[in-house]
């Protein structure tokens, strides 16, 4: 089943108050409430684009696909690329020893350089 999983990306981006942040960025409270409670009936393309601009992501980053037992897809089906790992980056970062955290910072700087080249 396809899920609009905005909570995951907001958490990854370090946004601690998703409701407040989304409303502050121009989304209607009722819409935000629906999104944060996985009650997405539809999403307007302009909302999707605005989220992608604000969060520096693609629409694929906002969706998660999970098998639900009703739909069977082959292991190589394109929907499987939307399956997200369930890791908590903030917890992982807090638990890293300082030397590894510093090395991670260096690696991130290198990744930024590669993207700008």
H/E stretch holding 12: helix 6-12
Predicted confidence (pLDDT) per residue in 4-25, tens digit: 989 989 988 989 999 999 999 9
- The domain limits of the chain are 2-86, 87-117
**Tell me, what's the pLDDT at 3?**
87
H/E stretch holding 63: strand 63-65
Predicted confidence (pLDDT) per residue in 50-99, tens digit: 999 999 999 999 998 888 888 878 888 988 888 877 666 777 778 888 88
Classified as helix, coil or strand, 16 is coil
Q: Give 85 or 30, the one with higher predicted confidence.
A: 30
**Tell me, what's the pLDDT at 115?**
66
**Tell me, what's the pLDDT at 49?**
97
Q: Token pair for residue 32?
A: 């935000």
State the pLDDT confidence band at 112, using cuts at 50, 70 and 90: confident
Global confidence as pTM: 0.71
CATH architecture of 2-86: Orthogonal Bundle (1.10)
């Amino acid at each position: 089943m396809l899920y609009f999983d905005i909570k995951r990306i907001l958490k990854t981006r370090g946004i601690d108050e998703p409701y407040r942040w989304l409303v502050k960025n121009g989304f209607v409270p009722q819409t935000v409430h629906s999104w944060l409670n996985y009650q997405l009936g539809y999403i307007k393309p302009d909302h999707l684009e605005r989220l992608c601009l604000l969060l520096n992501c693609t629409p694929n980053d906002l969706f998660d696909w999970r098998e639900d037992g009703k739909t069977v897809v082959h292991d190589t089906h394109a929907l499987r690329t939307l399956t997200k790992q369930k890791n908590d980056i903030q917890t992982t970062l807090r638990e890293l020893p300082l030397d590894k955290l510093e090395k991670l910072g260096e690696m991130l700087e290198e990744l930024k350089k590669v993207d700008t080249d």
